[in-house]
Structure 1
Amino acid sequence: MTVRVLAAGDHFVQNRLLIDALRSEVGGELDVRELTLPWPVVPFGPVGEVDEASDVEDELIDALRGVEICVTQMAPLTRRVLEAAPDLKLFCVSRGGPVNANLEAATAAGVAVTFAPGRNAVATAEHTLAMLLAATRRIPQTHADLAGGVWRGDYYMYDKVGPELEGGTVGLVGYGAIGRRVARMVAGFGAEVLVFDPYVETPGSVELDELLSRSGFVSLHARATPETTGMIDAARLALMPPGSVLVNCARGSLLDYDALCDALDSGHLFGAALDVFPEEPIPPGSRLLTTPNLVMTPHLAGASKETAVKAARIVAADVARYLRGEPLAHCANPAPANL
């Protein structure tokens, strides 16, 4: 019997990538419908009781009629959607965590939810290194001056130049797939690496306060949990050596952004680089828009062509397992007994 699938892609993990991956993993036994979500042209946000989703509940409900499997990145799996989609059995989220899915409601409805861990690890690690170097070497600021016709020789003054990675100490807060890659990259520059991760023991492992006090460069790679919310606050920023650099390409909730702005305004930190924020997009009037020595990108760290392709392949592989009656590799909730 032909299985009906909804490919609810967007302008990053496109439907063609999802469908190509499904055809490669499964073959031609699928009846695939398509729904294109507006992300990232339209930012994600809270939808119903889930977060970081495209606001397309009505469109998704229409598209899910008679559908057994949905592959997506940003579609909202809310209680309302589940109640309107009785045929749905498998909901595959092509991102590192299924934050746009109500796992409790999905489990109660007999819907397995999968995700795509590690899809953007390489892209995020490379972006982290780029941000670290950009903040340390003042690349965005000096480019902006030159583009505006201004040649500023004062950037060469001793008090305005930054430190080198070689011979320095890089502290990594979190040592998962991304943190491990960043560690290899900065070690290649000749830096010492310290690690804080309560779930991992590795050479260079230290407690968080020791890491902050010893590291001239700190990069955040922890997951967003109640325990990590606000973990880098004013007191911990004060532990960092004067003239150090902080990078956050992980989650906005890890960092006290007002305290960061204070540390930059005072000159305690040489610079900072951010890809994630407490509110996205950044609202007008935010201190982040006027604080000096701050490099920012709009939540782009995981954005690469390879990330999108990997994401599609990871979820398609779990679709194939489901159809073969095998255990799912990346199931986020207790898989129903009939899977």
Structure 2
Amino acid sequence: MRILAAGDHFVAPELFVRELTAEIGAGHTVTELRLPWPLTPFGPVAEVDEASGDEDTLLEALDGARVCVTQMAPLTRKVLEGSPALRLVVVGRGGPVNVSLEAAAEHGVQVCNTPGRNAAATAEYTVGLLLATVRRIPETSAALAAGRWAGEFYTYGNCGPGLDGARVGLIGCGAVGGRVARALTALGARVRVYDPYAAPEALRAVGAAPVGDLDELLRGSDIVSLHARLTPETRGLLGARELALLPEGAVVVNCARGALLDEDALCDALGSGRLAAAGLDVFAVEPPPPDSRLRSAPRLVMTPHLAGASTAVAHNAARIAAAEVGRFLRGEPLAHRVV
């Protein structure tokens, strides 16, 4: 059987090949393709989102392949229509947004994802970004690197608040939010969660108190961290009205999806001093354009969508994907089938 391992510079094609060999042996033809992400940002390709590479290159690489394992390849309608042998696509990420699911169903192509591969890494990074933002670590590091012993950051008005006793509000509490809740609780924070889809007993199990109303959560949170999925209902979830509900001097952190947060409203709140600081790893447009207000906003810590980037995540994605290919070859039910 012919398999295409369409990796990139994070989940490399050779990593897919290694895990595939361990799972199904070496008696198959595995072709490698390396996509340019993340050295080149992902983006829409035809009708799919967050993809890397182009349709024609992928079509050529898929010639005769029955299986494709990938993270970012653009499995568009054009690609699926032009790959009649293809029967399985396994996407090494939580959501197969780079696959035209409707076209896959029409052409008899099963699609799987790899849920949970980066939950631990994203939770770790969220806590790290939160700490860096609250305790002003990037600013003080930059001052020292520039040769200035910034003693003013030890004054009461300039040092950041601690987490011990802080009121932290989490918006969403799935695989990532639950880990964040446990970690922050261990650091002494008082964690509350707004998540209309989570059972209250599940939230209490991770040390968080459930809150039934978003406005109530915001009014009582010194720190807010976003962990919701991006849907039509959650797009722009935190806008000017919602940010104004936060206590003066609050901190906002977002490692989920950029479009959950109104960036102009955030810049206004930072500029007025109403928000003490913010930390962003995700943006409505990635990378933010040169004229983005975020680039000059005060007390804003920004990182380039790195929360899910760890070597463990890359190995997890390849391993889970290879396991699905093994099930497919053995005729077993697929564990993470989407289509």
- With the shorter chain as reference, the TM-score category is over 0.9
1:337 corresponds in structure 2 to none
Correspondent of 1:205 among 210, 220, 228: 210
SS in 2 for 1:35: strand
1:298 corresponds in structure 2 to 304
1:38 corresponds in structure 2 to 36
Correspondent of 1:50 among 48, 51, 73: 48
1:225-244 equivalence runs, <5 A: 225-244=231-250
2:115 corresponds in structure 1 to 117
Between 144-153 and 258-267, the greater mean CA deviation after superposition: 144-153
SS in 2 for 1:160: coil
Report if aligned partners of 2:14, 2:32 keep a CA contact under 8 Å in 1.
no
TM-score by length of 2: 0.96
TM-score by length of 1: 0.96
1:251 corresponds in structure 2 to 257
Correspondent of 1:193 among 191, 202, 214: 191
Return the alpha-carbon distance in structure 2 between the equivalents of residues 221 and 21 of structure 1.
Answer: 30
Report if aligned partners of 1:57, 1:76 keep a CA contact under 8 Å in 2.
yes
Return the alpha-carbon distance in structure 1 between the equivalents of residues 170 and 23 of structure 2.
Answer: 36
Unaligned ranges ≥5, structure 2 = none
1:264-303 equivalence runs, <5 A: 264-303=270-309
SS in 1 for 2:191: strand
Correspondent of 1:162 among 160, 163, 180: 160
Determine if the alignment matches structure 1 residue 323 to structure 2 residue 332.
Answer: no
How high is the sequence identity, in percent, across the aligned residues?
60
Matched to 1:137, the amino acid is: R
Matched to 1:318, the amino acid is: E
Between 126-135 and 207-216, the greater mean CA deviation after superposition: 207-216
Return the alpha-carbon distance in structure 1 between the equivalents of residues 47 and 9 of structure 2.
Answer: 24
Report if aligned partners of 1:166, 1:191 keep a CA contact under 8 Å in 2.
yes
Correspondent of 1:131 among 125, 129, 154: 129
Correspondent of 2:170 among 162, 172, 177: 172
- Give the aligned CA root-mean-square deviation in angstroms: 0.9
Q: How far apart are residue 158 of structure 1 and its match?
A: 1.7
- CA deviation vs aligned residue, 1:123-181 (integer Å, no higher than 9, x gap): 10010011001011111111111111222222222222221111111111111100000
Return the alpha-carbon distance in structure 1 between the equivalents of residues 215 and 116 of structure 2.
Answer: 28
1:65-76 equivalence runs, <5 A: 65-76=63-74
Return the alpha-carbon distance in structure 1 between the equivalents of residues 168 and 4 of structure 2.
Answer: 44
Report if aligned partners of 2:132, 2:138 keep a CA contact under 8 Å in 1.
yes
Matched to 1:299, the amino acid is: H
Return the alpha-carbon distance in structure 2 between the equivalents of residues 107 and 130 of structure 1.
Answer: 40
Correspondent of 1:142 among 129, 140, 144: 140
Return the alpha-carbon distance in structure 2 between the equivalents of residues 56 and 72 of structure 1.
Answer: 14
SS in 2 for 1:154: helix
- CA deviation vs aligned residue, 1:245-298 (integer Å, no higher than 9, x gap): 110000011000000111111111111000000111111021111001000100
Report if aligned partners of 2:9, 2:38 keep a CA contact under 8 Å in 1.
yes
Q: How far apart are residue 238 of structure 1 and its match?
A: 0.8
Unaligned ranges ≥5, structure 1 = 334-339
Report if aligned partners of 1:116, 1:314 keep a CA contact under 8 Å in 2.
yes
Return the alpha-carbon distance in structure 2 between the equivalents of residues 244 and 102 of structure 1.
Answer: 41
Q: How far apart are residue 20 of structure 1 and its match?
A: 1.1
How many corresponding residue pairs?
A: 331
